[in-house]
Structure 1
């Protein structure tokens, strides 16, 4: 297989979540071609299961697709020094007002490798309960309108396979959790193996 050597790397724009870059890449045969893509900070997502086998799903508006989507509690890896599982726990608390005593790694996914290097680590959270803080997280913008729904895992699988859930991380997380459950949780990896 060819090495695809990067001859130059040019940043076109940057914000707090991603940058847009152009790489000049040597292709097989020696031709150099420009390739534009997004360099992303990375993300985490949480499949939180309660004692009744229900998964916590949120409804969130996404401007890029102009729709309210079914999603997992999820967010950016944007706190310096924060471990991935701690980022997942933070997002679970911020988006669903939940905490979990048990954490495992479900999957690691490149979301759109044709145009981005974004990678999301999906965690399974069990033994969940409500956040006990007297000061709830203050949600703003699209998050101010988040709706938490508890959905039976089998129903969430049906929703994923029928196209009702289209968020890639949610589809993968729900299917991975169902498969892990079918394997009596033996396929799970330690939460820290994503670091």
Structure 2
């Protein structure tokens, strides 16, 4: 790799990152639930100095871009307590069933949150949305050839999900909503831009 001709940094010819890690001297569990664990880690830098870091360790998750035959994407709108408001998102959820593969979780979440079944699945990308403090990984999928879950087989939604609204939005309009700030959820922004780009 060579230096940039006039700015700090190196020019990339083939992408490779340094995988050296900073060892963990100590790790204490500050909180644990079925959904996540929070640890306070002490890491050691190359200069042998110790640094405290809080790490949120949730279960892996999935998200689903459900597209109908006319290029509309399903967005769910629900109240999100951490932000204190309703948020537009793609259907999503945590991998909390032992032994379930990511696509199986995605199909289950699509059925539970949107009453939809997809005949065709495509894995898009796996992202780490908050690398500064979280180990969370979210695998994103595109789901097409949609049909509805039979009414007798639908999940009874609870808590915030019971108040969920469902909107079919043209993909181009959904992308505009990502870029103008109407959609702020990271997994949704990444998933929609990935589908639009692909």
TM-score (norm 1): 0.90
Cα distance in 1, alignment partners of residues 65 and 74 from structure 2: 7
Which residue of structure 1 aligns with residue 150 of structure 2?
Answer: 132
Deviations 1:155-179 (A, max 9, x none): 1011011110000011111101111
Deviations 1:11-40 (A, max 9, x none): 111011111101111012001111111011
- Please, which runs of 5 or more residues in structure 2 have no aligned partner? 1-17
Q: SS of 1:164's equivalent?
A: coil
Cα distance in 1, alignment partners of residues 82 and 64 from structure 2: 22
Which residue of structure 2 aligns with residue 9 of structure 1?
Answer: 27
Of 51, 70, 80 in structure 2, the residue corresponding to residue 33 of structure 1 is 51
Which residue of structure 2 aligns with residue 75 of structure 1?
Answer: 93
Q: Does 1:95 align with 2:113?
A: yes
Cα distance in 2, alignment partners of residues 128 and 98 from structure 1: 7
Aligned residues: 180
Q: Which runs of 4+ in 1 moved over 4 A?
A: none
Of 64, 74, 82 in structure 1, the residue corresponding to residue 82 of structure 2 is 64
| Offset of residue 75 of structure 1 | 0.4
Deviations 1:22-69 (A, max 9, x none): 111101200111111101101100000000110010001100000100
Of 145, 151, 155 in structure 1, the residue corresponding to residue 163 of structure 2 is 145
Which residue of structure 2 aligns with residue 22 of structure 1?
Answer: 40
| Offset of residue 133 of structure 1 | 5.1
Q: Does 1:46 align with 2:64?
A: yes
State the Cα RMSD in Å.
Answer: 1.0
Of 29, 51, 55 in structure 1, the residue corresponding to residue 73 of structure 2 is 55
- Please, which runs of 5 or more residues in structure 1 have no aligned partner? 181-195
